[in-house]
């Protein structure tokens, strides 16, 4: 189990922006989550949520362009209806890479910062050892409907609502609610691979991620099914454990800053040692420490080429 988890995480790291990978070998798994909602999972790609019913299909995120035919085939196995809408949770390529192939038949919707970042391309990273560069997306891959704060898509008796939270995983994150089915897709504001990647270079913030999750928690029913950006379907307790870790680690770095410690001194003092079980191949304890430090100091650090 552990080996499998590490492998997935390592692949997410290299795949976050669609670098080389043989997509022909990737298998797509479809699971019924609850009500109208299904989840589509593929190794190294962001999770897709699909609300399926008589009115058609709305999907949340679309993984990578080379997987589009597999996504369509997987959806065909549960419904003949067309994918009418795609909602992007944020701009990263492992969540928006399928926009181009889906744009021919579906309307793509996202928060306005998603469109802006896809349009220009740019840097993503924690301001230190984790860094990616994404090229500008072709015009047809851009969302054609954008919103500032929230938007709803009314399909299948479901009021699918995308709600924007500024400065979490990125500055364009939306969390997507399926209230009738009791399901939420958290995008990468909640992941299960350990310490999360927080894209400081795209306006992300650990404190913003905490605020987003704390805002969302009271909106959710106790038995809600939580679709993480990456990882298996989770529950409220999983999200609570995650946000508790974020708050505790954030406070530990804040305290070390008050003591006047530099980033190197914090690494040497192992200020996040208590939480090291969250360390993964993608985001190690040191990489997460850099993230929290850069978030709190507004310092992006020196660019260190990673991998």
Residues lying near Zn ion in the complex (CB under 5 A): 92, 188
Nearest to 27 by CA among 63, 78, 81: 63
The 3-state DSSP composition of the chain as helix, strand, coil percent (nearest 5) reads 40, 25, 40
Minimum CB separation from Zn ion for residue 214, in Å?
Answer: 20
Minimum CB separation from Zn ion for residue 32, in Å?
Answer: 25
Minimum CB separation from Zn ion for residue 30, in Å?
Answer: 22
Minimum CB separation from Zn ion for residue 57, in Å?
Answer: 23
CA distance 264 to 268: 6
Nearest to 181 by CA among 32, 26, 37, 15: 37
Considering the complex, state which of residue 92 and residue 185 has its C-beta at the smaller distance from Zn ion.
Answer: 92
DSSP secondary structure letter of residue 53: E
Considering the complex, state which of residue 89 and residue 129 has its C-beta at the smaller distance from Zn ion.
Answer: 89
Place of tokens 């298998």: 27
Place of tokens 């021919």: 104
Structure tokens at 126: 């924690």
Considering the complex, state which of residue 100 and residue 114 has its C-beta at the smaller distance from Zn ion.
Answer: 114
Considering the complex, state which of residue 92 and residue 164 has its C-beta at the smaller distance from Zn ion.
Answer: 92
Minimum CB separation from Zn ion for residue 128, in Å?
Answer: 17
DSSP secondary structure letter of residue 25: G
Considering the complex, state which of residue 158 and residue 199 has its C-beta at the smaller distance from Zn ion.
Answer: 199
């Amino acid at each position: 189990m552990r080996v499998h988890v590490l492998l997935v995480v390592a692949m997410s790291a290299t795949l976050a922006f669609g670098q080389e990978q043989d997509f022909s070998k990737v298998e797509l798994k479809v699971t019924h989550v609850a009500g109208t909602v299904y989840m589509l999972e593929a190794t190294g790609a962001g999770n897709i949520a699909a609300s399926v019913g008589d009115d058609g299909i709305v999907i949340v995120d679309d993984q990578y362009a080379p997987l589009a035919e597999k996504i369509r085939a997987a959806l065909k196995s549960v419904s003949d209806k067309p994918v009418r809408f795609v909602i992007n949770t944020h701009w990263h390529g492992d969540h928006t890479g399928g926009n181009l192939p889906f744009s021919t038949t579906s309307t793509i919707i996202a928060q306005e910062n998603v469109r802006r970042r896809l349009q220009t391309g740019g840097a993503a990273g924690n301001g230190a050892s984790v860094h990616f560069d994404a090229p500008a997306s072709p015009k047809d891959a851009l969302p054609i409907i954008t919103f500032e704060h929230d938007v709803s898509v009314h399909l299948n008796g479901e009021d699918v609502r995308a709600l924007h939270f500024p400065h979490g995983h990125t500055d364009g994150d939306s969390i997507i609610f399926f209230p009738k089915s009791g399901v939420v897709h958290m995008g990468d504001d909640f992941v299960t691979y350990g310490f999360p990647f927080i894209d400081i270079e795209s306006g992300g913030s650990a404190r913003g991620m905490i605020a987003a999750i704390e805002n969302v928690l009271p909106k959710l029913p106790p038995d809600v099914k939580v679709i993480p950006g990456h990882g298996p379907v989770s529950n409220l307790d999983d999200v609570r454990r995650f946000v508790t870790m974020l708050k505790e680690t954030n406070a530990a770095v804040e305290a070390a800053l008050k003591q006047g410690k530099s980033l190197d001194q914090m690494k040497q003092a192992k200020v996040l040692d208590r939480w090291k079980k969250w360390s993964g191949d993608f985001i190690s304890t040191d990489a997460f420490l850099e993230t929290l430090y850069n978030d709190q100091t507004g310092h992006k650090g020196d660019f260190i080429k990673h991998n």
